[in-house]
Amino acid sequence: MHDFDSLEHVDYEQRVLLFCDILGWARFIEEKQSEACYRDKISELLDEVWRLAKKAQEIKSRGVGIDFDLTVGHFSDTFALSCANSSESASSLARHAAHMSNKFLGAGFLCRGAIVAGPLIHEGPVIFGPALVQAHRMESEVAIYPRILVAHEVVEKTKDSGHLRRDADGLYSVDSFGVIWQRTNADVAWNKANLTQASEHIVRELHKHKPDGKEHSKWLYAARRFNDFVQLHLELGVSQIHDV
């Protein structure tokens, strides 16, 4: 346990950090606060994030030789998950990021964030350090689109995992659809149902927002990533989203 009474003597740990913003979450909370069915939906989604930490601890307790040391923090529409600074842990965190993105997209939300590695203190609700500053800056100033960017130092740890894709701007991000495909062992029926649900949300939001609006551009990016994936996996029999 760190002594936070004197920050001059705090020893940072080298950790891998996922900083993730759920786009539109705060507005949704405000608009739906009085509707019980939506409060249940919010609770279900938040429980999913905390379930990841529990699952990681179970893996550790089974003695598989991997110490993820996963810590989860949540405030409003932002999640911060950090883990041990190793290739195995970084790959695990990228999978968690993909899983979160998929779950929130299935509920009609987009995720934007960053995965970095660097000096960090993360103990329960307490989190600070250069890694957090870097991740927040990447999420708010660099990512632009609803994607989870992966910093160079983490790309080097995970480049052989198949969890990443390189975007047109040369930046790497978590390949959410691809990771889910891998994690379900290319289960065609499951992925088809999952993608169909995602498509419904994307199409609805594209029609909802003006073509030249900021929100429209976010969903347009999601639509194009969706189309890239279904074009790559024609065996799914999932139609591309038109007019994007």
d(CA 224, CA 72): 31
Averaged pLDDT for residues 98-115: 92
CB 107 within 8 A of CB 7: no
Q: What is the pLDDT of residue 53?
A: 61
Q: How confident is the model at residue 92 (pLDDT cuts 50, 70, 90)?
A: confident
Q: How far is CA 41 from the centre of its chain?
A: 18
CATH architecture of 11-176: 2-Layer Sandwich (3.30)
Q: At 210, give phi and psi (nearest 5°).
A: -65, 145
pLDDT at residue number 70: 82
Which tens digits make up the pLDDT trace of 152-178? Answer: 999 988 876 788 999 999 999 999 999
Contact 158, 86 (CB under 8 A): no
> pLDDT (tens digit, 9 = 90+) per residue, 111-144?
999 999 999 999 877 899 999 999 999 999 999 9
Q: Note the pTM of the prediction, 2 decimals.
A: 0.87
**pLDDT tens, 31-73?**
665 555 555 666 666 676 667 666 655 655 555 555 678 888 8
